[in-house]
Structure 1
């Protein structure tokens, strides 16, 4: 029996800074962006990718062109390669997951997105959980993913953390049928997910409304305008935001 773990107050009462508190001068998913989020008292959303050498890189995009100017795929790199591809905005290095844990050290809750650009590799979850074994702040960690197999596997591997399903009405590189199955939350029970994290552009909708009526918690992203902020108040339990004052 897979244990249900609701999001605790750390992820409901504290607004979640999308990829840290970044700006035109501070790179997203950088140690400086996380430090600023800690300083301001926000929870932090981060993204992790599996590297060739078994380390975890904290970066949103699989291809680093947008963030670094280099047309390389992060999953093809080793951890020692990351310093060759500094972030364009401020020259910071792409951090490793273990370095983020060391920096944050329980001062802010971490919402960890499991990035699965291709076929799900369970090592992504296994290594994350192994590194979290030395992180005592279990009440300040939650996970989420667009990939239903990643959600299901994580839930079956640990009962320490709340694990959510990320979704939108528009999903890249997915067939219309697969998109429908995912956006309509038909796999929610199969995944054993604890909460939903849904694109604000497609809220409210009947699929999420039905789950909320059953007590399922809902986060929404990405809140980057005050219009979206007002909308989120009526259809979600908390927000993942960027580039606005909340």
Structure 2
């Protein structure tokens, strides 16, 4: 898909994990953060990951400690147990992805990032497809991991998501410190964008600190693919990203 075909995606800034403000009791990836973004006419980006019973919750971290009073891995609990956990500093609980979609109800563009352990498990991709296939509203799916995106690309018709654009989230390098789970082959594939023939992304989301970069530049200029910049945390970063990206994924300030 070209920039023109995805003009709805880049028409307005995209609130990273919703328009959250912890000091005001609006926590990232919560229904409240999504509603706040909608009220301010922003798009919404969210993270989804698998539960023990194969459902999805909207939650970024692999573990629960930072945002709840519980501990341990998210995927060690089932969806019902997770949905009872209160988010720190609020009265809200961890939303299931189905609840989150119901709350948004197509009122703003939604960017769904599939979280991954980079182990080939397609649970998140399959469940996301099942929930998003019948969803009525502007939505895209993205991931750092090429494997679920390639799976959705190859099976989009059968999964009922051929109408949903697919994207890759990327950055310039994938070092051992931040990406210890990657094999050398995975690291090379992601760094050099060697997965392109199987992922064939409709858009890219690129780390703002790594702009300009050849991969998003060529995708945007030669292939006319939209590029968003993540995660923009100040007006100065937004200004720096403007020549190289079509829209920003932001937090900690309110862009115009």
1:1-246 correspondence runs (5 A) = 4=1, 8-24=6-22, 25=24, 26-137=26-137, 140-158=138-156, 159-171=162-174, 172-173=179-180, 174=182, 178-214=186-222, 215-246=224-255
Instruction: Report if the CA contact (8 A) 2:229-2:241 is conserved.
Output: yes
Any gaps of 5 or more consecutive residues in structure 2?
A: 157-161
Secondary structure of the residue that 1:67 maps to in structure 2?
coil
User: Aligned equivalents of 1:131 and 1:209: distance in 2?
Assistant: 33
Residue by residue, what CA displacement relative to the aligned partner does 1:163-210 show, whole Å, maximum 9, x if unpaired?
001111343213566434313322223212111111001110123222
- TM-score normalised to structure 1 length: 0.91
- TM-score normalised to structure 2 length: 0.87
Residue by residue, what CA displacement relative to the aligned partner does 1:17-66 show, whole Å, maximum 9, x if unpaired?
00000012210000110110111111100111111212110001111111
State the superposition RMSD in angstroms: 1.8
User: Is the helix fraction higher in 1 or 2?
Assistant: 1
Secondary structure of the residue that 2:227 maps to in structure 1?
strand
Secondary structure of the residue that 2:154 maps to in structure 1?
helix
User: Aligned equivalents of 2:244 and 2:189: distance in 1?
Assistant: 21
User: Aligned equivalents of 2:218 and 2:8: distance in 1?
Assistant: 25
> Mean Cα displacement is larger for which, 213-222 or 27-36?
213-222
> Mean Cα displacement is larger for which, 61-70 or 221-230?
61-70
Given the superposition, is the C-alpha separation of residues 154 and 169 from structure 1 closer, same or farther in structure 2, using an over 3 Å criterion?
same
> Mean Cα displacement is larger for which, 50-59 or 83-92?
83-92
Secondary structure of the residue that 2:9 maps to in structure 1?
helix
Any gaps of 5 or more consecutive residues in structure 1?
A: none
Secondary structure of the residue that 2:34 maps to in structure 1?
helix
Instruction: Report if the CA contact (8 A) 1:5-1:161 is conserved.
Output: no
Q: Quick one: higher RCO (CA 8 Å, sep 6+), 1 or 2? A: 1
Deviation at 1:5, TM superposition (A): 7.1
Deviation at 1:71, TM superposition (A): 2.6
Given the superposition, is the C-alpha separation of residues 151 and 38 from structure 1 closer, same or farther in structure 2, using an over 3 Å criterion?
same
User: Aligned equivalents of 1:59 and 1:205: distance in 2?
Assistant: 29
* Number of equivalenced pairs: 241
Instruction: Report if the CA contact (8 A) 2:45-2:112 is conserved.
Output: yes
Instruction: Report if the CA contact (8 A) 1:143-1:161 is conserved.
Output: yes
